[in-house]
Amino acid sequence: MLTDKQVRTAAAREKNYRLAERNGLHLLIAPSGSKSWRYKFRLNGKEQLITFGRYPDVSLAEAREQMEAARKALRAGLDPRHGTARSKLIGTESAVRTFGSIAKEWYDNQKSRWKPVHAADVWRGFERDLFPDLGHLPIDQIDQPILLAVLECVDKGDSQKGPVLIQRGFWGGHFDARFDGRGGMVLP
């Protein structure tokens, strides 16, 4: 394991070289003297690489934390590069937006157009069929396989329920999925 002193005193050489930390995390030192944290991992049998940032902007402790977060994502079957790229583009605010909070926003925007009985039916459908599985999940972690699995469970209980939820418009704005009319789901 590296120490902060080793990282701080690493000098440039004629060619790029690495100082290994652990579990694929290393510090790449360029001939120009710049130092950047990188994490090498395997995903679907292929070697992948994430750059966490330059030293000293990203400390040794921060690089270790980011590596552990990436390893956790890998254990969950997720590509850790997506979270890093997404955070750079839109910030971390979306990580706390759950399916439940977005569904509530959508419902609040739609219910004024509906009769009270219909609005109550829609909300009851969310609470009964979707919130138990999806309500707590961050929206950026709900991908098509998760959505398909939940909708298939909903569809088994009531063959009209899944198509009705999609027809009502919630899915169209957030997910690209539709039913084929024979009980199956068509994903692009």
Structural domain ending residue among the three candidates 37, 70, 91: 91
Residues 105, 174 within the same domain: yes
Residue 182 maps to which CATH number? 1.10.150.130
Residues 50, 121 within the same domain: no
Structural domain ending residue among the three candidates 73, 91, 109: 91
Residues 125, 150 within the same domain: yes
Length of the chain equals 188
Q: Dihedral, CA atoms, 134, 138, 140, 145, nearest 10 degrees?
A: -30
Domain of 150 in residue numbering reads as 96-186
Residues 146, 180 within the same domain: yes
| Alpha helices per DSSP H over the chain | 4-9, 60-75, 80-90, 99-110, 116-125, 131-134, 144-157, 161-167, 170-174
Question: pLDDT tens track of the chain, all 188 residues?
Answer: 889 899 999 999 999 999 999 999 999 999 999 999 999 998 888 899 999 999 999 999 999 999 998 898 888 777 888 765 555 655 555 446 788 888 888 888 888 998 999 888 888 888 888 888 888 888 777 777 777 777 777 666 654 445 455 545 555 444 444 444 444 444 44
Residues 177, 132 within the same domain: yes
